[in-house]
Structure 1
Amino acid sequence: MKIKKGDIVQLQIEKYAFEGKGIAKVSKNELLGINDTDGAEKNYVVFVHGSYPGDVVKARLTKIKKSYAEAITTEIISASPDRVKAKCKYFGVCGGCKQQDLSYQKQTEYKQLQVEEIFYKLGGLSNFIVEKILPSDDVYFYRNKMEFSFSDKRWLTKKEIATEDKFQKNFALGLHIPKIFDKVHDVDECFLQSELSNSILNFTRKFFLHRNTSVYSTKTHTGYLRNLVIRQSYHTKDLMVNLVTSEENDELLKEYSENLVNSYPAITTIVNNISKKLSAVAVGDYEKVYFGSGYIFDKIGDYTFRISANSFFQTNTKQAEKLYQTALEFAELKGDEIVYDLYSGAGTIAIYISGKTKQVFAFESVQSAVEDAIVNAKLNNISNVKFITADLYKSFLPVAQKNKLPYPDVMIIDPPRSGMHNNTVDDVIQLSPRKIVYVSCNPTTQVRDIKMFSDAGYKLIKIRPVDMFPQTYHIENVALLIK
């Protein structure tokens, strides 16, 4: 008898893996239902989606390899004591909050263990300090930005398909189903942003449905509506509605804006991003402002930041201060250092640390972000930060040399999930700062890059995870390296 893809097996979940999978360790005989009599160790690993340590589950095998298998939970026979009731009715269908049925204390414990495992086992790193994870004060309604998608193909759940109710199948406004890019799950509430955000979402759906407005198709590349992006300030209560469309339509947008502001006076600006891109990215080629200034403002610590429709700004404002403070504490600035800030975005980290150092040179690839950063420095009367446009995916060192910048004492690096380009790593090594503070939203790529720095003579001193995204398996991590 041989196990095969599609088989249902019973498993005891013992550990938790990165990206939300439970781990069962068994022998293949156990999978086949054969009693082990030879004393062989349980060394065959099954990664089980939708399970937690302490669960006993039935799971369908989806992938079978020589040393491991993958499976999806089909039935929970005995639930882990760490399970809780999910708050959202879309849990299990929408791909956003995959840990919503796990107690928040356990979420942070597992995130801490996952980061440690990545550094110790995947990275092979040792002799460094692991500081305790910083949990989020808010575990719901913490996001300052939500991005919803329009689709001409609505995803129907099994329950909806089983009913005889009629659904609007060619219009949806909501969130994508994991790994399905052409269909959207129509949602009327989300617990990650505010209740006001949900109201605006539902108003927008009703407004455009009533007018039979066309929806952009990723297949034919025709249609009007692409995305709805809602940005809310935590400290100032500013609120931006950004509608992303494939073309201009002044008459319709004016009507939408007037109706929206009349219904929700808390809205401070409405922007229309027009995108001709074929890819499903909620960033326009240009924008038009229909109400307000086109910007919102928020604070991190003592500093105020202007945020445009396409600016990068940490989505958990309260937690961002903890993240930046951790980076600042790791840097241990004395006040006389030259600091380079790579992937500086709208200048949030550079400005946050500016009062503790002599000079900051901040490098960013996106020109609009650099323009926002320059404005943010002026807003805060900061004169010791210089923002520089440089391609961090090729090489930024020639730009620094062309501008005759002094070499850095400290570098703060906060790249995207993909981590640093090898050329950028080489540039940092050539500049040879005595300290590197590496902030990452992906510990796996962070470890990959840290190993390259280690090979060049840097020692990992300490790390600290910071939970920016409760209910999800995503985790930020700050690392300190010294030459």
Structure 2
Amino acid sequence: VPVHPTIGMEDPWRYRNKVQIPVGQKEDGELMTGFYQKRSHNIIDMDTCLIQDEVNDRMVETVRRIASRYGIDAYDEQTHRGVLRHIMVRTGQTTKDIMIVIVTKTKKLPHKEKIMDEIRDAFPNVKSIVHNINSAKTNVILGRETNVLWGEEYIYDTIGDIRFMISPKSFYQVNPTQTKTLYDQALSYADLRGGETVIDAYCGIGTISLFLAQKAEKVYGVEIVPEAVEDAKKNARLNKMDNAEFFVGEAEKLMPWWRNQGLRPDVIVVDPPRKGCDEQLLKAMLDMEPERIVYVSCNPSTLARDLRVLEDGGYETKEVQPVDMFPQTSHVECVTWLEKKVSN
């Protein structure tokens, strides 16, 4: 199987459009922000991260400084006391929109109005300031309750010609430059001519689906997270695309039902999490017998495992294109093109 050289970034630094960073407290009471020491929850104080957008670094530093000045305590995991847990910043690479999410253990954010005013004075192009409440004893960053303190509920960004709404909880690729490279490759392997029906399993907020909808007659997206499906529907409306429909559910259960209803996709696109595709999903894909499968993977080992199943089920792996989505890390994304074997 041809595995092409990895497509890298021209400038592999400062590419991440999202930072979510824990907040700790020094012995002198000053707040600090940084990432965890390996295999621990000890925060290493840091001012900059060379793979983050520089705006993200400056925003985190600004929010930390303001919160420190107003005497807001950091959350302590051991005692489950304190206020400020995390600071999240999301930026639109093309729009330059900025969203700040302040995550607290408490329902109340002390000095809320003053903090908002100071953030807006420091960064006039901030579009959204959000308060997320996470009172649980957990290492999950965001809690269930999210309130917009100022500005918009969403920020916007574009990948290629497609515009996306991004909320605090949206799954949106952290490297939009390489995402376009990845999706262009997926679109190329899908080889759409305008009359095809496509299923996009694990569709998230509709990023790949809407790329496919530019060339396909109909796209069906399926995703287990209801909020992501709502975002996908909003993104379809935002881009005036009425040939993409989105459904909440498990792809491995929805696809057999669709098949029984007579749906026959020409192409199936999958972009699963690191654990790869569920066995039932692989079976459902084989049962639907599309002409082509495009498999987008963030884990080469589970990709190899799943390709074995698809090959044994009647498909031929034509080629693999790795893309360096996360420069300065060991991770790589691969786009794989499979064709249905021709029966003799």
Same fold (TM over 0.5): yes
Distance (whole Å) between structure 2 residues aligned to residue 370 and residue 288 of structure 1:
20
Distance (whole Å) between structure 2 residues aligned to residue 462 and residue 309 of structure 1:
36
8 Å Cα contact 1:149/1:226 also seen in 2: yes
* 1:131 to partner: Cα distance: 2.0
Structure 1 residue aligned with 2:242: 383
Structure 2 residue aligned with 1:148: 21
Structure 2 residue aligned with 1:133: 6
Higher relative contact order (Cα pairs below 8 Å, separated by 6+ residues): 2
Residue 300 of structure 2 is aligned to residue 427 of structure 1: no
SS in 2 for 1:129: coil
Distance (whole Å) between structure 2 residues aligned to residue 366 and residue 248 of structure 1:
25
Instruction: Summarize the alignment of residues 414-453 of structure 1 with structure 2, pairs less than 5 Å apart.
Output: 414-453=271-310
Match of residue 225, structure 2, among 363, 366, 381: 366
SS in 1 for 2:111: helix
SS in 2 for 1:368: helix
Question: 1:413-456 CA deviation, whole Å, 9 max, x = no partner?
Answer: 11112222222222222222221100111111111211221222
Cα separation, partners in 2 of 1:334 and 1:467, compared to 1, 3 Å: same
Q: CA RMSD of the aligned region, Å? A: 1.9
8 Å Cα contact 1:245/1:274 also seen in 2: yes
Distance (whole Å) between structure 2 residues aligned to residue 205 and residue 146 of structure 1:
14
Structure 2 residue aligned with 1:301: 160
Distance (whole Å) between structure 2 residues aligned to residue 219 and residue 422 of structure 1:
40
Question: 1:88-145 CA deviation, whole Å, 9 max, x = no partner?
Answer: xxxxxxxxxxxxxxxxxxxxxxxxxxxxxxxxxxxxxxxx122222111321111111
SS in 2 for 1:416: coil
Structure 1 residue aligned with 2:312: 455
* 1:195 to partner: Cα distance: 2.6
SS in 1 for 2:36: strand
Instruction: Summarize the alignment of residues 321-340 of structure 1 with structure 2, pairs less than 5 Å apart.
Output: 321-340=180-199
Match of residue 258, structure 2, among 374, 384, 400: 400
Instruction: Summarize the alignment of residues 109-258 of structure 1 with structure 2, pairs less than 5 Å apart.
Output: 128-151=1-24, 168=28, 171-180=31-40, 182-258=41-117
SS in 1 for 2:42: strand
Distance (whole Å) between structure 1 residues aligned to residue 29 and residue 339 of structure 2:
57
Structure 2 residue aligned with 1:481: 338
Cα separation, partners in 2 of 1:430 and 1:229, compared to 1, 3 Å: same
Distance (whole Å) between structure 1 residues aligned to residue 62 and residue 143 of structure 2:
22
SS in 2 for 1:335: coil
8 Å Cα contact 1:396/1:427 also seen in 2: no
Structure 1 residue aligned with 2:208: 349
Question: 1:187-228 CA deviation, whole Å, 9 max, x = no partner?
Answer: 111122233222221122222223332322333333221111
Paired positions, count: 340
Structure 2 residue aligned with 1:316: 175
Q: Gaps (5+ residues) in structure 2?
A: none
Distance (whole Å) between structure 2 residues aligned to residue 474 and residue 227 of structure 1:
25
Structure 2 residue aligned with 1:261: 120
Amino acid at match of 1:144: N
Distance (whole Å) between structure 2 residues aligned to residue 232 and residue 147 of structure 1:
12
* 1:250 to partner: Cα distance: 4.7
Question: 1:1-58 CA deviation, whole Å, 9 max, x = no partner?
Answer: xxxxxxxxxxxxxxxxxxxxxxxxxxxxxxxxxxxxxxxxxxxxxxxxxxxxxxxxxx
8 Å Cα contact 1:461/1:482 also seen in 2: yes
Which structure has the larger Rg over C-alpha atoms? 1
Amino acid at match of 2:154: Y
Distance (whole Å) between structure 1 residues aligned to residue 109 and residue 29 of structure 2:
27
8 Å Cα contact 1:276/1:285 also seen in 2: no
Distance (whole Å) between structure 2 residues aligned to residue 219 and residue 355 of structure 1:
50
Distance (whole Å) between structure 1 residues aligned to residue 43 and residue 38 of structure 2:
10
SS in 2 for 1:130: coil
SS in 1 for 2:143: coil
Cα separation, partners in 2 of 1:276 and 1:251, compared to 1, 3 Å: closer
Percent of aligned positions that are identical? 34
Q: Gaps (5+ residues) in structure 1?
A: 1-127, 155-166
Cα separation, partners in 2 of 1:424 and 1:278, compared to 1, 3 Å: farther
* 1:169 to partner: Cα distance: 7.9
Question: 1:249-298 CA deviation, whole Å, 9 max, x = no partner?
Answer: 15533322111111111211111111234321222202100111121101
